[in-house]
Amino acid sequence: MLFGSVEIGLGVALAISFAKIIIQSLWAQVEGLGWLQGTNIFCSVRQYPVACRTQAVQVIRIDTSFLYFINATFIKERIMEWVRAEVDTSNEKVRERVHSVFLDMSNVVNIDTSELVGLEEIHKELASLGIQMKWLLPVQDGRQFRR
């Protein structure tokens, strides 16, 4: 009886682990970053409410290791949602217009060709709005690659 319940427990734990990995890869976290005053650090505005959001520059981090065809559309929609929200609120007199969008992709390990097409589509949509897009790629050999 003991061995049967241990095997069942391990099977359930494995199923939960695989389900968690699949869900995290399907719905990647896309979040806005803000600047911590007095430092050179950008961090999640949701996690650190004291972080200041820059008015003319939108910094967005993609928190997933894999960008591929399954989550390409979701990530594209989330990024455009963030940008459109900033552009809509920037019409107020108090705020400046968004000029640039930086995508922090330092957590990304693998990128599928469908996600590259998605990034190109985002770039075209932003260019049509008059907004520049730059992305930060993972560090390799001690240097930060920028595009």
Class of domain 28-146: alpha beta
pTM above 0.85, yes or no: no
Q: What is the pLDDT along the chain (147 residues), one digit of tens a residue?
A: 455 688 888 888 999 999 988 787 777 788 888 888 888 888 888 888 888 887 788 888 888 877 888 788 888 888 888 788 777 665 554 446 788 888 888 888 888 888 888 888 889 988 988 889 888 766 554 444 444
pLDDT in tens, 44-68: 888 888 888 877 888 888 888 778 8
Find the length of the chain: 147
